[in-house]
Structure 1
C-alpha cells in the first residue's frame, strides 16, 4: 500500500513537471499542427511532444466551441485577391468618339440657342480636323483660296482632298460650299448628301442641304433636311424657324 502511494506521488510529480514545462514552452512557442511521414495529423505542444489527432480533425477558428483543436488545425494559405488588370489605354479614335458623344449630348440638352451655338462651334472645330497633316494643310490652302476669291483653285484642291480622304465628310461640305457659290447646285447637293451619309449627325450639312434644296424649289427635300438637322440640334432657332415656315408651305395649317 505504501509502495503504491509512493508510485502515485511520483507519477503526479512527473505530470506536474510536464505541465509546468509545457506552460513555459507555450509562452515562447505556440502549439502547432503538422503531418508525419505516413500522412497522419498530429498536434505538437512544446514541452510535451506530438499528440496524434483523429482522421478528419480540422479547426474552425479560435474561440469556436465546435472547434476541437482551438483553431490549431492546418488551413490552406490565404490567397491574395488577384488585382484587376488595368484597362488598356484608349486609342485616339476611342477618345475622340467619347468626346463627340459628350458634345452631342450637350447639344441635345442645350437650354437655349446661345448654348446650342457654342456647342455646335466646338463640334464643327473637331470635324474640321481630318487626322492627316497632309489633308489638313491642303484644306487650309483651299480655304485661303476661297477667301481670296479664287474658287477655281479652291475647288481643284478640294477635288484632291476628297480623293485622298473619301471618308472625311468635311471635304465634301467645303467643296459643296464652293460649288454652290459658283452656281453648280446639283453638284453641291450631291456633296452635301454624301457628307450626311458619311456622318449622319452633320447638322451643318443638313442645314445647308435644306437651304440649297429650298432655293432650287425642292421644298419637300428641304423640309426633310431641316427636320433631320433639328433632331440633332433641337435648340437651333434658325433651323426651327426655317422648319416652321416651310412646314406651313408644304403641309399647310392644321384644321
Structure 2
C-alpha cells in the first residue's frame, strides 16, 4: 500500500485488486456501522475514493464543475462535465454529477439517462440512487422512487436524508396504517 498523501488522506492502493478489496471492506463496514458518526466517517472515505478518477485532468474538471454548480453556473458546469464523460466514460462519478447538473437545469430526460449510466458503472453509489429517487419522485413515479431509496439504504443504512425521504414517501406507496 502507498504511504499517506501529505494531506493525510491515504492514496488509493497501487494494485487495482487491493483497491477493490479495500473499497469492498469500506462498504461492508458502512452497512454495519454501529452509529451515525462512524457511518459518516466511512461514507466520507468512500466518497473521496469516488472523486479519484485516475486522471488529474478529469479530477480538475470535476472540481471546477462542482464550483460552477455551487455558483449556479449550470451551463459552465455542464460543459465541464461533458468533457469529463468524454475523457473518462467509465467514471461513474462524472455521469452522476452531470445528471445532477442536468436535473438542476430541467433536463430531466438527460439526467435519467446519466443516472442509469452511473448506476451501471457503480451500483453501490448511494448518491446516484438518491438522485434516481429524487428524479422519480419529481416525475410522480413514487414506487420507483421508494425502490431507489430502499436500495440506497441497503448500502448506507444510516443515510438520514434518505431515511427521512423514504419515510415520507412510503405511505403513498405502501398505504397508511390504520
Q: Structure 1 length normalisation: TM-score?
A: 0.61
The alignment covers a number of residue pairs equal to 166
- Please list the CA deviations of residues 162-200 of structure 1 after superposition, one character each: whole Å capped at 9, or x if unmatched: 011111001011111111111112211221121111111
Residue 215 (structure 1) aligns with: 138
**Superposed counterparts of 1:133-144, under 5 Å:** 133-144=56-67
Question: Pairwise CA RMSD of aligned residues?
Answer: 1.8
Q: Does 1:113 align with 2:36?
A: yes
Gap regions ≥5 residues in structure 1 = 1-89
Higher percent of residues as helix = 2
Q: Report deviation, 1:254.
A: 5.7
Decide which of 82, 89, 93 is 1:166's aligned counterpart. Answer: 89
**Greater mean alpha carbon deviation, residues 237-246 or residues 180-189:** 237-246
1:101 lines up with 2:5 in the alignment: no
Residue 199 in structure 1 maps to residue 122 in structure 2: yes
Asked whether the 8 Å contact 1:161–1:171 carries over to 2, the reply is yes
Q: Which residues of 2 match residues 1-255 of structure 1 at below 5 A?
A: 91-253=14-176
Give the distance between the partners of 1:189 and 1:115, measured in 2 at CA.
32
Deviation digits for residues 40-75 of structure 1 (CA, Å, limit 9, x no counterpart): xxxxxxxxxxxxxxxxxxxxxxxxxxxxxxxxxxxx
Verify the 8 A CA contact 1:111 1:235 in the aligned structure 2.
no
- Quick one: distance in 2 between partners of 1:158 and 1:248? 37
Matched residue, 2:8: none
1:151 and 1:236 mapped to 2: Cα distance? Answer: 27
Measure how far apart 1:122 and its partner are. 1.3
Aligned equivalents of 1:115 and 1:164: distance in 2? 35
SS at match of 2:33: coil
* 1:92, distance to aligned residue in structure 2 (A): 2.7
User: How far apart in 2 are the matches of 1:110 and 1:188?
Assistant: 31
Whose strand fraction is larger, Structure 1's or Structure 2's? 1
Determine the C-alpha separation between the residues in 2 that align with 1:140 and 1:185. 23
